[in-house]
Structure 1
Amino acid sequence: MGLLELSIFLLVLLFVLLGAGLWISMSLAAIGWVAMATVHPAPGPFLASALWESTGSWTLAALPMFVWMGEILFRTKLSEELFNGLAPWVRRVPGRLLHVNILACGLFGSVSGSSAATCATVSRIALPELKKRGYDEDVAIGSLATAGTLGILIPPSIIMVVYAVAAEVSIVRVFIAGCLPGLLVMLLFSGYIVVWALLNPSKQPPAEPRMNLREKLRASSQLIPCVLLITGTIGTMFVGWATATEAAAFGVLGSLILAAVTRTLTWESFVDSVKGATRLSCMILFILAGAAFLTKAMALTGIPGALAAGVASLDLGPYGIIALLTVVYIVLGTALDGVSMIVLTTTIVVPMVQAAGFDLVWFGIFIVLLVEIAEVTPPVGFNLFVMQTMTGKEQTAVAWASMPFFLMLVLTVVLITLFPVTLVTGLPEWLLAR
């Protein structure tokens, strides 16, 4: 069997296993076993070594810590404090409190690292407030569904950790590289809200009473715990005082202190946070382990190199390859979650990207943005599921409400591709060179 026939057979078998409901991690390991068996008579030792090497990593220890931090904060009053602290500053901006959705998701995302947790937590407090005050429901739902994806773009991010481990690049560099694209996405989202509000003045609720500076500052004092936690978690990495794993441990400690100070830390909520973090971390680690075995198998078969050579022979050029990968990832996003997208494709895609001359840190942000798009792409957009649960609306209605913000994410992908150094790789190079 030639490499092309083997590749097609393995791809079809993977879709059959996934379609049959087999766990993603088991499907990846099974495909790896079949691929390995074509070139080696005893795949067992390779499977054992891949499982150990992929999970016995000190760097990967940051993953469950960041997940646990997000689970703890999910059970605090942080989202309510964020909404109350940000609302006074956007009362005179067209769109008013709709901007709080973007700002709150950006801030909460920077401490949770999870798209679904960010979307669910901020929506839980924002949707009732916006509905009560008469804001347009479609724009509110669309902004929350898409702004919730900021949880995986603004560091620390679970998806970024997974990519950095899979592609063997610096977690800290990927974290820093996500800062400016995250701010850019927030500006584009808010910019759309401003334009929409100016074009639809009849859909705006009556203006709320003015607040003086003292009242605004008093309300914003609720942001202090969140800002301190962000500074303590991310700042220690940026200045080189702590590795990503150490910063994650500081983040967990800070979130526990914050939960205790706000009196939301009970024994029940603590146990629930540990259970939630354990379930999610184990799921991701199993997927990474299966993907690691598949990576070894693919390397031995020679399929990734042959595929990279085949794409290179098409003479698409660097931007042609990026355009092709964009289409591929958006299609994958209709059926897979972000972690699965990354671990399924990294083995094959990274050699192609390196051959095309792209920086792997930049490519990590590129993939994260495409995962963001996948989060609001039917039929398996996780944030669409979250908003569907929160609102009781059909998924198609949530998807249509999210469409303008979806296009802003696509525009961000275009911009970071055109200006990679300015928007992505320049900041980590400048900070880490000091």
Structure 2
Amino acid sequence: MDPLSTAMIILAAILVVLASGIWIYVGLILVATFSLMVFGDMALDRVMNIFGSIILRSSGSWELAAIPLFVWLGELILKTDISARIFRGLGPLVRLLPGGLIHSNVLGCTIFSAICGSSAATTATVGKITISELGKNNYRRSLVLGSLAGSGSLGLLIPPSIVMIVYGVLAEVPIDRLFAAGVLPGLFIAGTFSAYVAIICLISGDREKNPENTHQTPAPEASIAEGYGWFDSLRDLAPIIVIITLVLGSIYSGIATPSEAAGIGMLCVLALTALTRTLSWDVFQSSLMAALHTSVMIFTVVIAASLISTALGYLHIPVELANFIVSANISPGQFIILTSVFFIFLGMILDGVSIIVMTLPILFSIVQSLGIDLIWFGIYLVIMVEVGQITPPVGFNLMIIHAIDGVPISRMALYALPFCFLMCACVAVFYFAPNIVLYLPNILFN
């Protein structure tokens, strides 16, 4: 059987197994084992020996140590009042803009993303504060919820990013360069979102003419009070800015690796929560257990991805597919368009980490053969995963907002649709102006 047909069968098998509801890592391991036994004509004991060495190698990666620390950091912020302090501090900065406090969604998600690295944690934390607060002031609901869904996905792009760590480990790309590459695109997309909100509000106003009842009770401690001044804003934002500077600055200056920087950030957040007297034993324990649960899930999927990648390598599928793409004279632009459609489809049924670990083993050799920069492709892949976070039926950001506000998923998808288009438009900008992505890593690490 030719490699293209084999690849299609394996991909179809992965989709069928995942659609069955089985755990993702179990499904990938089953497909990897099936592929080597059927297409590689290997005995089961040989497959197990190969997989044993791969599991030990992939699970021992030092770069993966950053994941539980960044996840735990985000959980601590989620369960304490740090997030409320961020939004109180943002009030004076956004009130004078067209759209007013709606911009606190975009800026809040941008700041929180630079601490946490998780899209789900970013959306949940910001949403619990701003949905009730902005609903109380009758801000346009479609913009409030849509901007939250779109901006919440920036947790995957703005460093430190858990998804970038997974991509860096699997593609063997320096994670510090990936982090640097995500800064300008993340700020560019955030600025695009804010510009869109401002334009819509200038055209049609920022308030609902017939406000819907959001049945939310505003949280007093999170209220963005009208009397809140610039000094108060600086007082609340300063500790967060210091933590972001320490974490990212230590990476870009070469003082610390991403894993060591995660430890620095974790210690800073523990110290801040202790100083503000919001760190209790219950908060410590519950945040640690939540981080453990999420981290184990990510690690099992990464290990399973290493196994499927090994199976495809033994079958020579990535190399053969790369040769086929090159012989078909497909341009890099055509390849990006085709993969974008494919990623949007996958985003409707899979989470971000699963999309990366499932597709990267096949796409890696093709990307190299087309001469596409692996750093640029990593940022592109993360943005397309972000689009998947706000596309139904499995749009995790949509589900989180639904759980907070009760808005139907179908309506939430319509609210988020303009932000999907904006992200796709930004991808086109980055394709024609790749220096937006590559400027910082080239300056900092060359």
Same fold, TM exceeding 0.5? Answer: yes
| TM-score interval, normalised by the smaller of the two chains | over 0.9
Contact in 1 for aligned 2:88/2:225 (Cα 8 Å): no
Contact in 2 for aligned 1:333/1:374 (Cα 8 Å): yes
Cross-structure match for 1:129: 133
Aligned with residue 223 of structure 1, among 237, 245, 252:
237
Separation in structure 2 between the aligned mates of residue 321 and residue 177 of structure 1, nearest angstrom = 21
- For residue 335 of structure 1, give the secondary structure of its aligned residue in structure 2: coil
Correspondence list, 1:186-265, <5 A: 186-201=190-205, 203=207, 215-265=229-279
Tell me by how many angstroms 1:220 deviates: 2.8
Residue 425 in structure 1 maps to residue 438 in structure 2: yes
Tell me by how many angstroms 1:409 deviates: 0.7
Contact in 2 for aligned 1:79/1:121 (Cα 8 Å): yes
Contact in 1 for aligned 2:112/2:155 (Cα 8 Å): yes
Contact in 1 for aligned 2:117/2:155 (Cα 8 Å): yes
Separation in structure 2 between the aligned mates of residue 324 and residue 362 of structure 1, nearest angstrom = 17
- For residue 15 of structure 1, give the secondary structure of its aligned residue in structure 2: helix
Gaps of 5+ in 1: none
- For residue 111 of structure 1, give the secondary structure of its aligned residue in structure 2: coil
Cross-structure match for 1:179: 183
Cross-structure match for 2:49: 45
Contact in 2 for aligned 1:76/1:262 (Cα 8 Å): no
Residue 97 in structure 1 maps to residue 101 in structure 2: yes
Compared with structure 1, are the counterparts of its residues 4 and 354 closer, same or farther at alpha carbon in structure 2 (3 Å cutoff)? Answer: closer
Compared with structure 1, are the counterparts of its residues 148 and 309 closer, same or farther at alpha carbon in structure 2 (3 Å cutoff)? Answer: same
Compared with structure 1, are the counterparts of its residues 302 and 265 closer, same or farther at alpha carbon in structure 2 (3 Å cutoff)? Answer: same
Compared with structure 1, are the counterparts of its residues 58 and 383 closer, same or farther at alpha carbon in structure 2 (3 Å cutoff)? Answer: same
Compared with structure 1, are the counterparts of its residues 202 and 188 closer, same or farther at alpha carbon in structure 2 (3 Å cutoff)? Answer: closer
Cross-structure match for 2:66: 62
Compared with structure 1, are the counterparts of its residues 371 and 209 closer, same or farther at alpha carbon in structure 2 (3 Å cutoff)? Answer: closer
Tell me by how many angstroms 1:286 deviates: 0.5
Separation in structure 2 between the aligned mates of residue 119 and residue 188 of structure 1, nearest angstrom = 18
Cross-structure match for 1:32: 32
Give the CA RMSD over aligned residues.
1.7
- For residue 92 of structure 1, give the secondary structure of its aligned residue in structure 2: coil
Contact in 1 for aligned 2:66/2:258 (Cα 8 Å): yes
Which stretch has the larger CA shift, 217-226 or 228-237? 217-226
Residue 165 in structure 1 maps to residue 190 in structure 2: no
Correspondence list, 1:281-430, <5 A: 281-421=295-435, 423-430=436-443
- For residue 100 of structure 2, give the secondary structure of its aligned residue in structure 1: coil
Counterpart code for 1:314: A
TM-score, normalized by length of structure 2?
A: 0.93
Which stretch has the larger CA shift, 217-226 or 196-205? 196-205
Counterpart code for 2:68: P
Tell me by how many angstroms 1:209 deviates: 10
Contact in 2 for aligned 1:84/1:220 (Cα 8 Å): no
* Percent of aligned positions that are identical: 39
Which stretch has the larger CA shift, 74-83 or 368-377? 74-83
Q: Deviations over 1:77-100 (max 9, x none)?
A: 122111110111221211011111
Cross-structure match for 1:115: 119
Tell me by how many angstroms 1:7 deviates: 2.5
- For residue 90 of structure 2, give the secondary structure of its aligned residue in structure 1: helix
Tell me by how many angstroms 1:8 deviates: 3.1
Compared with structure 1, are the counterparts of its residues 2 and 260 closer, same or farther at alpha carbon in structure 2 (3 Å cutoff)? Answer: same
- For residue 115 of structure 2, give the secondary structure of its aligned residue in structure 1: helix
Aligned with residue 271 of structure 1, among 280, 285, 306:
285
TM-score, normalized by length of structure 1?
A: 0.95
